[in-house]
Structure 1
Amino acid sequence: MDLRLLLCLPLVFTSLPLYCAEIYTSLVNVKQAIIAERKLIDSLKSYIEQESQRLQDIRRFYDKASHLHSEVYKDQAAALANPLLAFTLIKRLYSEWPNVIYSDEALENTQALRSSYEREGSFLPQLEDLQGAVSGLLRLQDVYALQVSDLVKGHFLTLTNGGTREIYKPHVSVPLSGDDCFMVAYEQEDYYHSVPWLEQSVSLFRGLNWSPENQGSLEDALDHLAYSHFKTGNVSYALSLSQELLHHDPVNERVQNNVEKYEKLLLVKPHINGNRLRRPDSKYLRTREVYERLCQNHGSHPTHFQNPRLFCDYFSGGSGLIVRPAKREILSLQPFVVLYHDFITDTEAEDIKRIALPGAYGSSQCLSSFTNCQPPLSATLVPGKQFKSGGVDRRQRKQTVTTQEHGKEHQQ
């Protein structure tokens, strides 16, 4: 398994076990979610088939009743003279119509669909999972300077020297919808991240009808975007967006008041300019700029020929890794960054994921509170399973200590 352990000094070195656990937990949760949705798709297919049959029965009853009124009951005198027609008319109104109107079949079909959804409840994501997924997406956006306008199209492009470069090309490109963009922006507490996503949400919502599965709408996106631009000082654009919102919701008194407020502000200060969106400070990473610069330079680091102190070797770490030396690649000296290739095997990785799964916490919980995370993996393994992951744990500790020592030497 080509799992790369990136050790950066003096970056957040001690948090590596947390992020590794977070990655494993997220991967397992996504696999479970895929299986759960596959089952839900099958249940929805069954629901559609049952509802289609129910609607066909209703359509058949409609055709029968409407045919009688268009053909048989045209001549009411003849119809009244036929006791069979009178009987079937009374019978339909007394029995058949109530059976159609008050049928429980639709409710039963809906209840069956809801029950299948609730059965998968333990494997379905919660709000904290959605927040964690959004945080992960924004973390990628920040670290690799990804463009939101390209992300919504399924492309991972970053700006480099005035141009763009694709840093990742997925096998399947998944474009985002206006509602997807709205949900990303809705969870944010800063305008630096929310405004670009709201811009894309408004753009994608325009010209489309609202879908019942959507959480947001064009009106919601316009409302949030207008307020965001007002808070950042771009009053003229906030006014334009609010006027567009009034076109869709002309009786909204709050938006009407906002339009009047923005117009008055522009009369007082007609040339008011918006403030530049400022990225909020990091709560977790003090050396964020250095860390992101290294990531954004991926593939363009100096080579051994440009700097002989950058090299690759089989690293034994003194006496700790003699039997199985690590494949080490020194990427940077300031800060000291080492990339270890093939750090664990596929078998070890699967073993760790399998054992960690029962007590795994969601990624957002671990990130929000370090004290709520599970203890190290080696401290929670059951007897008979500790040897495999214990080897990984020992290798990690050995390489961590040795890399720290080498980092200090290179930085002197």
Structure 2
Amino acid sequence: MTDLLFTEKDLVNSLKDYITAEESKLEQIKKWADKLDVLSAAATQDPEGFLGHPVNAFKLMKRLNTEWGELESLVLTDVSDVFISNLTIQRQYFPNDDDQIGAAKALMRLQDTYQLDTGTISTGELPGSSLAASHRSVLTVDDCYDLGKVAYSEADYYHTELWMVQALKQLDEGEMSSTVDAVTILDYLSYSVYQQGDLERSLDFTKRLLELDPTHQRANGNLKYFEYQLAKQEKMGASEEAQTEETQRKGRPDDYLPERKKYERLCRGEGLRMTPRRQSRLFCRYFDNNRHPKYVIGPVKQEDEWDRPRIVRYLNIVSDKEMEKVKELAKPRLRRATISNPLTGVLETAHYRISKSAWLGAFEHPVVDRINQRIEDLTGLDVTTAEDLQVANYGVGGQYEPHFDFGRKDEPDAFEELGTGNRIATWLLYMSDVQAGGATVFTDIGASVWPRKGTAVFWYNLYPSGEGDYRTRHAACPVLVGNKWVSNKWIHERGQEFRRRCGLQETD
């Protein structure tokens, strides 16, 4: 996205050069036209007298034989060649339709997760945004209409209605549009509201449409149909329960994620299950991992984030210089993040994980090796059997919905090719602050952990017995404002046999 921003800046400069060249060309043509306008006006007053002068006769011949040809060449000269060539080269890096649709869905995802109304998004006044009002982007009527169309194409009539209503509102307030009118918007609105079961509002929108365009064929047909359906309901004497049922049909479409509401509440910082009594047992401390030689004199700061399961945060664990180096190494390799299909085991992209990631091996740069060693020193776990350091970037709307880091019993082959057992623990390093959104939330226990640059959180995914701890189900909330960089280390079972011993009880 940053590269695209600079690409657009280069194209604007190229466009300005083209405009300057075009203006220069038009200025030459205008001077020629003005000069000949004066000359021909005087000559046609007395053609014979004018042509009686031999110089005038010669110059007329010369102009028509030579100079008009030169003017023709000037007019036909295409000064846009450089701009068109530059545009053609850069176009191969432009976003495509899928990218634009993805960005539209991201806005709707943020709208739902953080309970933002369309007016707030349209004016750009998002919570946490530090942009000055003069630099804040707003959504035009056309933008709102396009968002509504994306929702409509997905049969998401709930969001279609919200964005078409916003587009209509901005039109009613006097905003102009060159591509869409109220009739088109009302047509979408009428149908999307009908699909949600609200016949009365569908009828109202249809009537308003017909006031603007009485000949609209589809609206005239819908008008009769909606009136017939409403009359049918009245004859049947619709009960209050039936009306309540209709009301319940409205709202967001059915969801594949049963814990959606809980997840989104935690993303907003609501629904936390930490009681004051439990909170009083959480501490911060200087930590040296049982007098580890590296940290006896300079222990690190450690904070308890949660008690059951235990989640701790290490502060100032990586320097700004180290984090910038990790980002620099990862950027050229960032690719759309994938998940392992639980049925096939094949890596594939998924709509519930929107981010870009790259993998860095310890051998690639001393800074990666140092970070790996630091993780081993502080956790006491062997990282030689761990996965490479994964660096992930979540842009606006980037997220990873609730998931487990470890392989469950129904995924016996999840990490078989690695030969290092299951993921025993997760180390998550935050490499940027996030202006709004972007929390890591644990849906089962009701916990939210917020990004703080230079800090890392750590938790065990497995009990000492090797059984998965289902309380560690977690998610990366959508980034509302800002940019989220993280790197994570998944530590595996092999090599930990004498570092994290099994208990004497099978239930441990």
Q: Please, what TM-score do these two structures have when normalized by structure 2? A: 0.57
- Give the alignment partner of residue 352 of structure 1, picking from 297, 302, 326: 326
How far apart in 1 are the matches of 2:106 and 2:213?
A: 35
Q: Which residue of 2 aligns with 1:186?
A: 149
Q: Which residue of 1 aligns with 2:102?
A: 132
Aligned positions of 1:16-165 closer than 5 A: 30-101=1-72, 103=74, 107-109=78-80, 111-121=81-91, 123-156=93-126
- Give the alignment partner of residue 278 of structure 1, picking from 237, 251, 260: 251
Counterpart of 1:377 in 2: which secondary structure? strand
1:276-315 CA-partner distances (Å, limit 9, x unpaired)? 64212444x4422112112223699968589424555566
Q: Which residue of 2 aligns with 1:168?
A: 128
Deviation of the 1:145 alpha carbon: 0.7
Partners of 1:315 and 1:327 within 8 A in 2: yes
Deviation of the 1:82 alpha carbon: 3.9
Deviation of the 1:260 alpha carbon: 1.4
How far apart in 2 are the matches of 1:240 and 1:102?
A: 57
Partners of 1:51 and 1:106 within 8 A in 2: no
Please tell me the residue identity of whatever aligns with 2:359.
Answer: L
Partners of 2:310 and 2:459 within 8 A in 1: no
Long gaps (5+) in structure 1: 1-29, 157-166, 251-255
Q: Which residue of 2 aligns with 1:259?
A: 219
Deviation of the 1:152 alpha carbon: 0.8
How far apart in 1 are the matches of 2:187 and 2:70?
A: 46
Deviation of the 1:203 alpha carbon: 3.6
Farther-moved stretch of structure 1 (377-386 vs 112-121): 377-386
Q: Which residue of 1 aligns with 2:305?
A: 330
* Larger-Rg structure: 2
Q: Which residue of 1 aligns with 2:452?
A: none
Q: Which residue of 1 aligns with 2:202?
A: 235
Counterpart of 2:160 in 1: which secondary structure? helix
Long gaps (5+) in structure 2: 234-242, 339-347, 380-424, 428-456, 473-507
1:306-362 CA-partner distances (Å, limit 9, x unpaired)? 9424555566788999846464353697x9887665564423332332222222224
Counterpart check, 1:290 vs 2:262: yes
How far apart in 2 are the matches of 1:336 and 1:92?
A: 91
1:228-262 CA-partner distances (Å, limit 9, x unpaired)? 33433442244146437748xx7xxxxx2212112
Say how many residue pairs are matched: 357
Counterpart check, 1:195 vs 2:161: yes
Deviation of the 1:410 alpha carbon: 9.3
Q: Which has the higher strand share?
A: 2
Relative to structure 1, the CA distance from residue 337 to residue 382 in structure 2 (aligned partners, 3 Å threshold; closer, same or farther) is closer
- RMSD value, Cα: 4.5
Please tell me the residue identity of whatever aligns with 2:87.
Answer: Y
Please tell me the residue identity of whatever aligns with 1:35.
Answer: F
Partners of 1:312 and 1:328 within 8 A in 2: yes
Q: Which residue of 2 aligns with 1:390?
A: 372
How far apart in 1 are the matches of 2:262 and 2:469?
A: 18
How far apart in 2 are the matches of 1:108 and 1:200?
A: 42
Higher relative contact order (CA 8 A, sep 6+): 1
Partners of 1:331 and 1:339 within 8 A in 2: no
Counterpart check, 1:308 vs 2:283: no
Relative to structure 1, the CA distance from residue 358 to residue 196 in structure 2 (aligned partners, 3 Å threshold; closer, same or farther) is same
Q: Which has the higher helix share?
A: 1
Please tell me the residue identity of whatever aligns with 1:136.
Answer: A
Relative to structure 1, the CA distance from residue 342 to residue 262 in structure 2 (aligned partners, 3 Å threshold; closer, same or farther) is farther
Farther-moved stretch of structure 1 (257-266 vs 386-395): 386-395
Partners of 1:223 and 1:245 within 8 A in 2: no
- Report the identity percentage: 24
Partners of 1:238 and 1:262 within 8 A in 2: no
